[in-house]
């Protein structure tokens, strides 16, 4: 199995095909542990965050952020993943315990869990007044097909997307990862067909990551028949941006009456981060002090 989480970007020497591939086993495992996700919820959330980590490599600025939001009106509820250009990502799923019987042995029913009555959104915050938002109807809920549709309809880029999460019987993540192959302007259709056939011959991306020692070998199989170069290699990781001070501002935005009601009802003031499930506790005096400092 690929022993660590990292990402590779490769391009053929004729600059017609671009490939980005990533291993996210540890990232998805940490999300499973933090959110206590079911098998199918792990697969759904893992696919969305894996895709976001790949797409985040196209961000140029240090503080640029990319978010994928998927809501197909299924029992999973909304799924959100957000990443930066440095390979740090986090994700959340509204109903982490949601689960369904497998469609067939080893084939989790992610599509039905996500649903198809809704939209996939890609939000790119690049420090301008308004973020770029691309929104397309969900095609299957399987995420990879939905992103293929997004690239074609929203960015006019023919793309091959493969995403996978292999979940063990004990619900731990055996392997996870994904790849996106994109045609550059003027690309020869025969090259796209060659790459597509190479990818299809490999089988599922989660299985190939589980059986391979590194991503470089997988890239060699995908690009077989082409001369290519690896142009980027970087680690990826689960990393949340929450902290004690930032989440305190949520409580400080409430009225004094609401703060006292929460404390009286629960005997404490606390906020749980939706993305990492970290729990932060506060005293009434701390929050009141923050309110007094707000302009």
- The answer to the question of residue 35 being in a domain is yes
For residue 89, pLDDT beyond 90: yes
Contact 181, 228 (CB under 8 A): no
144 lies in the same domain as 254:
no
Query: SS3 for 133?
Result: strand
174 lies in the same domain as 272:
no
- Nearest CA-CA partner of 181 in 20, 15, 12: 20
**CATH number for 44:** 3.55.30.10
How far apart are the C-alpha atoms of 10 and 216, rounded to whole Å? Answer: 10
273-283 mean pLDDT: 95
pLDDT band of 77, cuts 50, 70, 90: very high
How far apart are the C-alpha atoms of 157 and 183, rounded to whole Å? Answer: 7
For residue 109, pLDDT beyond 70: yes
**CATH number for 249:** 3.90.1280.10
107 lies in the same domain as 231:
yes
- The answer to the question of residue 257 being in a domain is yes
- The answer to the question of residue 1 being in a domain is no
pLDDT tens profile 39-75: 999 999 999 999 999 999 999 878 899 999 999 999 9
Q: Is the pTM of this model over 0.75?
A: yes
Looking at the structure of the chain, the number of domains it has is 2
How far apart are the C-alpha atoms of 205 and 176, rounded to whole Å? Answer: 8
Query: SS3 for 107?
Result: strand
176 lies in the same domain as 280:
no
223 lies in the same domain as 266:
no
86 lies in the same domain as 201:
yes
How far CA 49 is from CA of 178, 219, 270, in Å, comes to 10, 21, 27
- Both tokens of 253, joined, read 């935005």
% of the chain surpassing 70 pLDDT: 99
- The answer to the question of residue 210 being in a domain is yes
pLDDT at 126: 85
- The answer to the question of residue 142 being in a domain is yes
75 lies in the same domain as 152:
yes
- Nearest CA-CA partner of 3 in 145, 274, 211: 211
pLDDT tens profile 187-210: 888 888 889 899 999 999 999 999
- The answer to the question of residue 287 being in a domain is yes
pLDDT at 191: 84
- Both tokens of 102, joined, read 């497998």
Last residue of a domain, one of 238, 257, 284: 238
112 lies in the same domain as 219:
yes
- Both tokens of 41, joined, read 């919820």
Last residue of a domain, one of 195, 216, 238: 238
- Nearest CA-CA partner of 53 in 276, 238, 190, 211: 238
192 lies in the same domain as 260:
no
190 lies in the same domain as 119:
yes
Q: In the predicted model, what is the mean pLDDT of the chain?
A: 94
For residue 295, pLDDT beyond 80: no
pLDDT tens profile 116-169: 999 999 999 987 888 999 999 999 999 999 999 999 999 999 899 999 999 999
For residue 100, pLDDT beyond 90: yes
Contact 191, 15 (CB under 8 A): no
Q: Domain span at residue 17?
A: 6-238
How far apart are the C-alpha atoms of 93 and 113, rounded to whole Å? Answer: 11
Sign of the Cα torsion 287, 288, 289, 295 reads positive
- The answer to the question of residue 189 being in a domain is yes
32 lies in the same domain as 14:
yes
206 lies in the same domain as 285:
no
Strand blocks (E) in the chain: 6-12, 17-23, 65-71, 79-84, 88-93, 119-125, 132-137, 159-167, 173-183, 228-235, 237-238, 269-272, 279-282
Last residue of a domain, one of 215, 238, 261: 238
pLDDT at 294: 64
- The answer to the question of residue 123 being in a domain is yes
């Amino acid at each position: 199995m690929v022993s660590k989480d990292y990402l590779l970007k490769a391009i053929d020497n004729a600059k017609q095909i671009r490939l980005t591939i990533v291993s996210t086993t540890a990232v998805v495992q940490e999300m499973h542990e933090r959110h206590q996700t079911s098998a199918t919820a792990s697969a759904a959330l893992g696919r969305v965050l894996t895709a976001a980590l790949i797409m985040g490599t196209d961000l140029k600025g240090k503080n640029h952020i990319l978010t994928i939001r998927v809501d197909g009106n299924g029992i999973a509820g909304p799924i959100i993943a957000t990443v930066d250009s440095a390979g740090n990502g986090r994700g959340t799923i509204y109903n982490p315990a949601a689960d369904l019987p497998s469609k067939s042995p080893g084939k989790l029913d992610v599509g039905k869990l996500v649903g198809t009555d809704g939209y996939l959104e890609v939000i790119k915050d690049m420090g301008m007044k308004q973020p770029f938002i691309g929104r397309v109807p969900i095609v299957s809920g399987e995420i990879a097909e939905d992103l293929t549709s997004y690239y074609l309809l929203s960015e006019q880029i023919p793309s091959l997307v493969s995403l996978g999460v292999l979940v063990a019987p004990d619900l731990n993540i055996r392997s996870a990862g994904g790849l996106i192959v994109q045609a550059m302007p003027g690309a020869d259709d025969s090259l796209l067909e060659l790459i597509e056939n190479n990818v299809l011959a490999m089988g599922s991306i989660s299985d190939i990551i589980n059986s391979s020692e590194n991503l470089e070998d997988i890239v060699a199989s995908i690009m077989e028949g082409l001369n290519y170069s690896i142009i980027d290699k970087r680690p990826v990781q689960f990393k949340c941006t929450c902290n004690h001070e930032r989440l305190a501002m949520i409580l400080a935005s409430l009225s004094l009456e609401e703060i006292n009601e929460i404390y009286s009802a629960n005997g404490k003031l606390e906020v749980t981060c939706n993305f990492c499930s970290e729990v932060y506790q506060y005293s009434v005096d701390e929050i009141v002090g923050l309110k007094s400092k707000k302009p």
